[in-house]
Structure 1
Amino acid sequence: MAEEKVATAFPGALKSGDLADKIQAALAGAGYADETTIVATSLCCDEVNRELEHKLTAKYTDNFSMGGLAGFPFCGVTSFGAMAHHIPDGGNCLIVYGPHVGVDADGVVGKVNRRGRATSGACCGSATAAAGYVKSVMAGADKAGFPDDFLDAQQAWVGSELLKHGERLEAAEDLAVEVPLALFDCQNEVMHKIVAAASKETHGGKIALVGGVQINTPDGTSDYFLPKVFEIMDTDGNVVDDLIASLA
Structure 2
Amino acid sequence: MKKREKLALVRTHYPNAITTIDSVNCLIDFVEERLDLEPSQIMLADSICSDDVNSIQYPVRASEFLGPFKMGGLDGFPFTGLTGMGAFASHVPDEGAVFVYYGPHIGISKEGVVGEIHRYGQHKGTGCCGAAKGALNKLLNNGIIPGNLNDMDYQMNTIEQILLKEKARIVNAGHPLKEATEVIYEAIDKRINELVSQTKYTCKYVILLGTIHINSDTDIGSFTSAKRFELIDLATNERQNLIGEFLK
Whether TM-score is above 0.5 comes out as yes
Task: Return the alpha-carbon distance in structure 2 between the equivalents of residues 80 and 119 of structure 1.
Answer: 38
Seen in structure 2, the aligned counterparts of structure 1 residues 51 and 243 have a Cα distance that, compared at 3 Å, is farther
TM-superposed CA distance for 1:205, in Å, is 2.9
| Structure 2 letter corresponding to 1:176 | L
- SS at structure 1 position matched to 2:120: coil
CA distance in 2, matches of 1:167, 1:15: 32
Is 1:93 the counterpart of 2:98? The answer is: yes
Residue deviations 1:75-105, cap 9 Å, x none?
0111111111100131111000000001112
Ranges in structure 2 where 5+ consecutive residues have no aligned partner: none
Q: Read off the aligned partner of 1:181 and give its amino acid letter.
A: E
Change (3 A) 1:10 1:90: same
Deviation at 1:56? 5.0
Cα distance in 1 for residues equivalent to 2:172 and 2:236:
35
Query: Quick check: 188-197 or 163-172, which moved more?
Result: 163-172
1:84 aligns with: 89
Per the alignment, residue 164 of structure 1 pairs with 165
Provide the residue aligned with 1:246 in structure 2. Answer: 245
**CA–CA distance in structure 2, aligned partners of residues 155 and 237 of structure 1:** 39
Choose from 146, 165, 168 the match for 1:143. Answer: 146
The residue aligned with 1:25 is 29
User: Is 1:12 the equivalent of 2:32?
Assistant: no
SS in 1 for 2:98: strand
Q: CA RMSD in A?
A: 2.1
Higher alpha-carbon deviation: 20-29 or 236-245: 236-245
AA matched with 2:194: K
CA deviation after TM superposition for structure 1 residue 133, in Å: 2.5
Are the equivalent residues in 2 in contact too, given 1:51–1:223 (CA < 8 A)? Answer: no
Cα distance change of structure 1 residues 145 and 62 upon mapping to structure 2, 3 Å threshold? closer
Q: What is the one-letter code of the residue matched to 1:166?
A: K
Shift of 1:142: 4.4
3-state SS of the aligned residue for 2:221?
coil
Q: Distance in 2 between matches of 1:246 and 1:66?
A: 26
Between the aligned partners of 1:96 and 1:21, the Cα distance in structure 2 is 14
Deviation of 1:144 after TM superposition, in Å, equals: 5.7
Is 1:113 aligned to residue 118 of structure 2? Answer: yes
Gaps of 5+ in 1: none
Distance in 2 (CA, whole Å) between partners of 1:235 and 1:144 is 37
Q: How far off is 1:3 after superposition? A: 4.5
Deviations 1:147-185 (A, max 9, x none): 1x3x21111111111222212112211123222222111
- The one-letter amino acid of 2:246's match is L
The sequence identity of aligned pairs, in percent, is 28
Does structure 2 retain, via aligned residues, the 8 Å contact 1:110–1:176?
yes
TM-score (norm 1): 0.90
Residue 12 of structure 2: SS of its match in structure 1? helix
Gap change, CA 1:100 and 1:42, over 3 Å in 2: same
- Once residues 120 and 84 of structure 1 are traced to their aligned partners in structure 2, the CA distance between those partners, rounded to angstroms, is 39
Question: In the alignment, is the contact (CA less than 8 A) between 2:77 and 2:188 conserved in 1?
Answer: yes
Task: Please state how far the C-alpha of 1:25 moved relative to its aligned partner.
Answer: 1.6
**In the alignment, what sits opposite 1:37?**
42
CA deviations 1:201-232 (Å, max 9, x no partner) are x1243111101111111122131110000101
TM-score (norm 2): 0.90
How far is 1:235 from its partner?
A: 3.6
Q: Which amino acid in structure 1 is aligned with residue 13 of structure 2? A: A
C-alpha distance in 2, partners of 1:206/1:117?
A: 43
* Aligned twin of 2:190: 189
Alignment check: 8 A CA contact 2:136 2:177 kept: no
